[in-house]
Amino acid sequence: MLRIASKLPATGTTVFTVMSQLAADTGAVNLGQGFPDFDIPETLAELLARAVRYGKNQYAPMAGLASLREAIAAKTEAAYGHRADPGTEITITSGATEAIFNAILAVLHPGDEAIVLDPSYDSYEPGIALAGGTCVHVPLRHTDFAVDWDAVADAVTPLTRLIIVNSPHNPSGAVWSADDMARLAALTREHDLCVIADEVYEHIVFDGRRHESVLRSPELAARSFVVSSFGKTYHCTGWKVGCCIAPAALSAEFRKVHQYNTFATSTPAQWAFDGMLREHPEHHAALGAFYEAKRDRFRARLTLTRLRPLPVSGSYFQLVDYSTVCDLNDVAFARLLCTSHGVASIPLSPFYATPPTGQRIVRLCFAKTDATLDAAIERLERM
């Protein structure tokens, strides 16, 4: 029998796959995995069909369509005041997860350390491990998921090469402030660190706040990979198209990985997104208000249940505290909620290396139709 030593011995099937399958098996309302259940913009569908009909079906350039990269550069300059060079600093990827993986492999060498802030998205640590690095977990504050910058500074060692940050934050919905960005800049300057900024929910920010992109800071932009997602912005997560903006030297290393990972990303999808950015910028400009209305409606209805919604300033996720319902751990509660009450959620503990003792929180996704959310609330009211 062939024997192999796993490079990811602690990695199993993701909690998102497990809970989505359980929802399908039990007929539960799926508020677990983060994807919309409503249609993409009709204009986007038409642009995609047009690209297919008019022969845009072969390999795109490795770095992405030049026209799309130019449109991204214009949008980024308008939004954040940063003008990226479309030729050398913008790369189109097959989803944001690929971009994060490429960036990790581009800069992390065996023996290097990378800091992640828990709870953190589950793709970060496997990428670090596959690069031969060590993942150093620093917990966010348990009360509000804010960054403890003193703890982050204490975690830096001579081996630290990289820090991965995420705002708006998945799973908590917390949003970084300008002061957080200033603290990040000071830390990376002192220790000469690279940054991967996971900004896939960049357009989904609420309550009059603005998204504090790493690209607003010339100092941070000069040492960062900034990752965005067309799937999150245009309700088409299944298309798997993302983008990475980084200075030319970092992009050159990033593209070395990208060209042997996926090489090129869906050509007709790239043409469709190019059309949306150029012809319909109002879509991404209105996205925050669109999801804020969903958040507010969902939170108002959650008050009719025994679940306590926590504050959320961005993304399309709502954390709820179930401590008044039962004392089960979150994995057991998520399974119970799905099998006995017909609503699928995501437990928070898989986002941690060491989950906080006694935390009783699960994540719900409100990127759903009103009918889906109402059906979930009706079941939760009976809990």
Q: Which domains does the chain have, with CATH numbers?
A: 15-40+285-381 (3.90.1150.10), 55-280 (3.40.640.10)
Contact between 319 and 309 (Cβ < 8 Å): yes
Closest to 70 measured CA to CA, from 48, 43, 89, 54:
89
In whole angstroms, give the CA distance from residue 270 to residue 260: 20
Mind listing the pLDDT tens digit for each residue in 131-183? 999 999 999 999 999 999 999 999 999 999 999 999 999 999 999 999 999 99
Q: Are strands 90-93 and 242-245 parallel, antiparallel or unpaired?
A: antiparallel
Look at residue 16 and tell me whether its pLDDT is greater than 90.
no
Handedness of CA 244, 250, 252, 255 (dihedral sign): negative
The predicted pLDDT at position 2 comes to 87
**pTM for the structure as a whole:** 0.96
The token pair that represents 105 in the structure block: 């492999």
Residue type, 280: H
Query: What integer is the mean pLDDT of 49-56?
Result: 98
Residue type, 383: M
Longest dimension (CA), the chain: 60
Look at residue 1 and tell me whether its pLDDT is greater than 90.
no
Look at residue 313 and tell me whether its pLDDT is greater than 90.
yes
Q: If you average pLDDT over every residue of the chain, what do you get?
A: 97
First and final C-alpha spacing in the chain: 50
Mind listing the pLDDT tens digit for each residue in 339-369? 999 999 999 999 999 999 999 999 999 999 9
Q: Are strands 224-229 and 194-198 parallel, antiparallel or unpaired?
A: parallel
